[in-house]
A and B are shown apart, each in its own frame.
Chain A
Amino acid sequence: MTVTDGAGFHTLLEVGSAAADIAYFVVTTPISADVLDPIGIDDLSFTFEPVERPTSH
C-alpha cells in the first residue's frame, strides 16, 4: 500500500478473515524509511462476529 504526501488520510487499508480470528494488528512503514516517514490513521473499523448459539424449535 502506498500513501501520497498531501493526499490526506483517505487511503483504505483493510483485511478480513472468515475465521474471525484476528487478535491484533500492526501498522508501520518499511525499516529503511521509518525514521523519515510520518504517517497516521483515521476511522479504525473492526467487525466482531458473535458466536451463534443453538436455538430450540
Chain B
Amino acid sequence: MRSTRLVRGKLYHKVLVATLLCSIPTLPGSGATELDARVKVPRAVAITTTIDFETIPPGTSVTDQYHALGVDFLDFATSDPEGGLVPTIAFVGAGTAHSGTQVLDLNQPLNEFYRSWAGGKFVTTVSRVSMRVGYFSGRGTPGMPPSSVCRPTTPLTRSWHRRR
C-alpha cells in the first residue's frame, strides 16, 4: 500500500512540472517570452576611485591594503619577494598634501641607496589614471652631503602599461 502511494505521487509531480513550463506566454510577433521582456539591465556607468592615503598610519608599508578599492602596489623594479621597493605612508601636513595630511612615499632604500620608484597593478583594467606628485623637501639619501641631496627640480618619467 505504501509503495503504491509513492509511485503515484511521483507521477503526479512530473505532470505538474511539465504543465508549468509550457504555460509561459509568448509575446505576439516577437518570439520572446514574457520573462525575457521584463529583463532590463541598466547602462554601464564608469566608476572612478580616488585613494587619498589617509587611512593607514604613517610609516606603514603599502602593498595590498587597497586591493578592495582596486589596486595593489607591487615591487616591479626588483621583483624581490622579501620586499624591495615598497612605498610607505608619510605625514607631510595639510596644504603640502593635495588632500588631507598624508601621501605615499616612493623614496625607499634599495641596497645602500634610496630610490623613488613605485608600481601599482589594477585588479581590473582601467581607462584613466591620475595622481598628484610632489617632492620631499629637505630629504635626501642618508650619508650624502647636504649640498648634493636635493636639486630644485626633478623631471619625472612615467610608464603606463597596457594589457595586450
A interface residues, Cβ below 8 angstroms from B: 1-30, 33-56
Contacts and interface: CB of A to CB of B under 8 A. Distances in A.
A36 B135 CA distance: 11
B58 to A, nearest CB: 12
Contacts of A5: 135, 137, 150-154
Interface residues of B, number: 81
Contacts, number: 293
Contacts of B46: 47-50
Nearest to B129: A46
Nearest to B160: A15
A46 B154 contact: no
Given A9-B132, A9-B134, A41-B133, 4 more contacts: A3-B135, A5-B151, A45-B129, A45-B130
Among all A-B residue pairs, the 8 with the closest Cβ atoms: A9-B134, A14-B130, A38-B107, A20-B127, A52-B44, A50-B44, A38-B136, A24-B121
